[in-house]
Amino acid sequence: MKKNVWLSGVLATFLLACGNDHSELPPVLPAFQQQPSPAYLSPEESMKTIHVPPGYHLQLVASEPQIQEPVAMVWDGNGNMYVAEMRSYMMDINGTGEHFPICRISRLTDTDGDGKMDKVTVFIDSLVLPRMMLCLDDRLIVNETYVYNMYSYRDTNGDGIADEKKLVYHNDTADNANLEHQKSGLIWNLDNWIYVTANPVRYRWTNDQLVADTMDNSPGGQWGLANDNEGRLYYSAAGGEVPALNFQQNPVYGQLNIKGQMVDSFEQVWPIIGTPDVQGGQHRLRPDSTLNHFTACCGQTVYRGDRLPASMLGDLFICEPVGRLIRRAKVTNQQGERVLSNVYNKAEFLVSTDMNFRPVNTATGPDGCLYIADMYHGIIQESNWTKEGSYLRPQILRKELDKNIGRGRIYRLVHDDYKPGPTPQLLNATSAQLVETLSHPNGWWRENAQKLLILRNDPSVIPALKQLAFTQEGFWDKLQFWKKSPSPYARLQALWTLEGMKALDKEEVKKAYTDKDPAIRASAIRLSEPWFKQDDAGTLAGLEPLKNDSSADVRQQWVLSLRYSKQARAKDLIKEITARYPKNELLEKMAKKSLEGDVELKYLNARLVKFNDEDKHLIRTGAVNFSQLCATCHGPQGTGLPTQVAPLLAGSSRVNGPSDKLIALLLKGLSGPVDGKTYPDVMPAMQANNDEYIASVLSYIRNVPGNQAGAIRPPEVKRIRDSIAARDHAWTLQELEKPAKK
């Protein structure tokens, strides 16, 4: 293993240095097609319609009938691919049978090493829309739609079919939110926390169970979650038409977005076909009928491999299935602020003229290439947005997109100048070999080696891990070019592996405060947070010199972590550093939260004083429910989003007014203009949620800043629900506000 990893790294470095890198050139495109054909194409035919930059090409990894409706893929330590298949998704325009347990997770293996999966087994059958997967060792953790419970599955007899099922996270609460607005992710991140979107929770794998840690706020996001080599997380929100958000800091510190974190025009997209089936209707189309803005952003990943051009490393890829394209974004560190820009001018990295091409997920594979899950499905919007009276329904029927079901493809993106890497055998590796793998140039290998070392918890490798984590390259090492020093990413991975094995002591962490690598210094600050919480004055004193650190990333982490210190000196230090950098918006926002705490929560608690215990519980529950779903379009606390995809709720006379019409609106939805402004799409009906859910959301939003109204109780919701039960379409505002007949 040691020799193979070293050779792999040398080979990749050589190829990256010598290859002919065309990665900054956009694709050579065919003539624009305003009226593309909706006809089904075979995988081979469809690949001819997909255009990527010079030097790249796609290879087919799997397709129907092997798989159908693929939405996500993960690999175990030996390179077996697990594919989640939402086979019940939009089988017709009404979404009939979507809850049926007919979905599955397939296990795919490439037995001859040609990159194409030739052995497929149904690993788990009879699932309801599987949405999250995490490979541990030989176990796969799975979550289905509409539930919170999670199970681990294992194949104990080697036939490729799971025959062991164990509950690893228990929460019987039903999740009745629309499937497009539920959680995704389940990423084991660098910091050994397992993250998801939407829900204000993260998990830790402890004693063969997922143990939840509740966060103050939802991290946001919908379908897709990406992490980079330093553990930074990237979310997206299709409902709010926001391709990337909440990537400036770890979500445990709360949501944080700043002006300019996406360069001007970043949210514009550049398809090469007319796009009739867009949820926002004419508002979202250019005069030539192409999609003008992200509307279904999802399935993002940060490329972390070693078999594509070096200029691609660290780039963020975002799927846009309505536009039949994938964006490649450059992530730039501008004094600690991450800024996203499109690599190409008014063009995309990958585009297709096939109307059924639906890229919904991407991932860096163990072979160092980029993988793409193409659902290859006619309808890509859930039934809430395809009902009678919607803009979408006639477009779908006109193009007969509802006829294309039961298919799907997975591609891998390769480059002409590079050969894909070898298949891993990490499940069979010794612990010492896994330590060596932490130096692999492909982030997938490092990440999985870290995870396996923590799961094994083998104390014999702790000295080797410490040597790797704390070995810094000196001046003479740089001159000895034949001597291979550990990379910063290898050292970072080793440091967090030690944290996961509970093998770091305070003095070792303090030693990392002065490390030459800023990512190590920033991590050392995070690792000190438990001692801050114990009111350790010595830790604070040891960290004080970092207020003058040359790295903005280190200074920001310092401000974030100091919020946990109980020492009076901590607040003074935060004020000192913000005074030194007065024009840094990101640092200022981080400092404000550290100094003042959660201002929104304080406001809510002050409002709750006037309510009884039952209503307090209702409003607090509503805060969580709103942040998980409604904030996607209406913004946090109903203050709106820059994309203006939905009306403001804060300060709204309708929200503060009589409850009956507000309840009716939420139950059945709202279409048409609001106060003379037309929004991209209808407000979907929420009647699938129970009375308590509706009451909680409305009670919360009636008590955010700008609103001062009473709580709405579940019996009120039931009364209105019963009175409008026969209604089968959304309200218009004119209809809803019509004076009652006397």
Q: Are residues 335 and 474 in the same domain?
A: no
pTM across the whole model: 0.92
pLDDT digits (tens, 9 = 90+) for 631-641: 888 888 888 88
Helix (H) or strand (E) holding 527: helix 518-527
Residue with tokens 């139950």: 667
Provide the terminal-to-terminal Cα distance of the chain, rounded to the nearest Å: 83
Whether 1 shows a pLDDT value over 70: the answer reads no
**According to the per-residue pLDDT averaged within each range, which of 282-291, 397-406, 601-610 is highest?**
397-406
Q: Are residues 620 and 726 in the same domain?
A: yes
User: Where residue 280 falls among pLDDT bands split at 50, 70, 90?
Assistant: confident
Q: Are residues 160 and 267 in the same domain?
A: yes
Q: Which domain holds residue 628?
A: 611-736
Whether 191 shows a pLDDT value over 80: the answer reads yes
Q: Are residues 394 and 462 in the same domain?
A: no
Task: State the average pLDDT for the chain.
Answer: 91
Residue where one domain finishes, among candidates 537, 568, 600: 600
134 lies in some domain: yes
pLDDT digits (tens, 9 = 90+) for 83-110: 999 999 999 999 999 999 999 999 999 9
Give pLDDT, residue 403: 96
- How far is it, in rounded angstroms, from Cα 183 to Cα 147? 10
pLDDT digits (tens, 9 = 90+) for 303-344: 999 999 999 999 999 999 999 999 999 999 999 999 999 999
CATH code, domain with 339: 2.120.10.30
Give pLDDT, residue 40: 95
Whether 690 shows a pLDDT value over 60: the answer reads yes
**Residue 392 CB neighbours (<10 A):** 23
Nearest Cα neighbor of 624 from 571, 514, 699 is: 699
Q: Are residues 292 and 273 in the same domain?
A: yes
304 lies in some domain: yes
**Residue 508 CB neighbours (<10 A):** 16
Q: Are residues 558 and 593 in the same domain?
A: yes
Contact 236, 245 (CB under 8 A): yes
Whether 356 shows a pLDDT value over 90: the answer reads yes
Token pair, residue 2, equals 């040691």
Whether 530 shows a pLDDT value over 50: the answer reads yes
Among 242-246, 402-406, 514-518, 609-613, the range scoring the smallest mean pLDDT is 609-613
36 lies in some domain: no
Contact 71, 85 (CB under 8 A): yes
User: Where residue 699 falls among pLDDT bands split at 50, 70, 90?
Assistant: very high
Q: Are residues 464 and 559 in the same domain?
A: yes
| Mean pLDDT value of segment 548-576 | 94
Residue where one domain finishes, among candidates 388, 415, 442: 415
Q: Are residues 459 and 500 in the same domain?
A: yes
279 lies in some domain: yes
552 lies in some domain: yes
- How far is it, in rounded angstroms, from Cα 329 to Cα 131? 25
| Mean pLDDT value of segment 213-237 | 95
368 lies in some domain: yes
525 lies in some domain: yes
| Mean pLDDT value of segment 218-235 | 96
User: Where residue 78 falls among pLDDT bands split at 50, 70, 90?
Assistant: very high
Give pLDDT, residue 396: 96
Give pLDDT, residue 625: 85
Strands of 164-169's sheet in order across? 130-135, 139-144, 150-154, 164-169
Q: Are residues 252 and 371 in the same domain?
A: yes
User: Where residue 689 falls among pLDDT bands split at 50, 70, 90?
Assistant: confident
Q: Are residues 392 and 531 in the same domain?
A: no
Token pair, residue 445, equals 């290998």
Whether 676 shows a pLDDT value over 90: the answer reads no
Q: Where is pLDDT greater, at 579 or 685?
A: 579
Tally of structural domains, the chain: 3
User: Where residue 263 falls among pLDDT bands split at 50, 70, 90?
Assistant: very high
Residue where one domain finishes, among candidates 386, 415, 444: 415
Angle 166-171-172 (CA atoms, 0-180°, nearest 5)? 100
- How far is it, in rounded angstroms, from Cα 736 to Cα 249? 42
| Mean pLDDT value of segment 190-197 | 98
Give pLDDT, residue 484: 66
Q: Are residues 260 and 150 in the same domain?
A: yes
Q: Are residues 623 and 596 in the same domain?
A: no
80 lies in some domain: yes
